């Protein structure tokens, strides 16, 4: 869940940062100060990086869990097949 939501939150922060930047630039009436532009871009990049810092480890962990799940499923399937094979073998009834 976090792997899916984090990039979207980062993107939302990027969009909000850009909106604030262009809002300040439009209110400046032609007198553009580079700090106004840099502040909004800094916020946008910071939120994007935060979203990626959450999403990348979450995707890696999810991949590891899925690999482990497949391995456990394989082992349990083999074990079940062995149990069924033993049960299907004819028993010696002479005893």
pLDDT tens-digit series, residues 40-60: 788 888 888 888 888 888 888
pLDDT tens-digit series, residues 18-31: 888 888 877 777 77
Distance, in Å, from the CA atom of 78 to the CA atom of 65, rounded to the nearest integer, reads 20
> Residue 92: its pLDDT value, please?
66
CB 52 within 8 A of CB 6: yes
- Kindly tell me if the per-residue pLDDT of 16 is higher than 70: yes
Confidence of residue 37 (pLDDT cuts 50, 70, 90): confident
pTM over cut 0.75: no
């Amino acid at each position: 869940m976090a792997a899916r939501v984090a990039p979207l939150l980062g993107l939302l922060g990027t969009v909000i940062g850009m909106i604030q930047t262009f809002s300040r630039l439009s209110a400046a009436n032609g007198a553009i100060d580079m700090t106004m532009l840099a502040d909004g871009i800094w916020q946008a990049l910071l939120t994007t990086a935060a979203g990626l810092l959450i999403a990348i480890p979450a995707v890696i962990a999810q991949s590891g869990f899925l690999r482990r799940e497949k391995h456990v499923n394989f082992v349990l399937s083999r074990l079940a097949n062995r149990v069924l094979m033993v049960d299907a073998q004819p028993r010696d009834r002479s005893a």
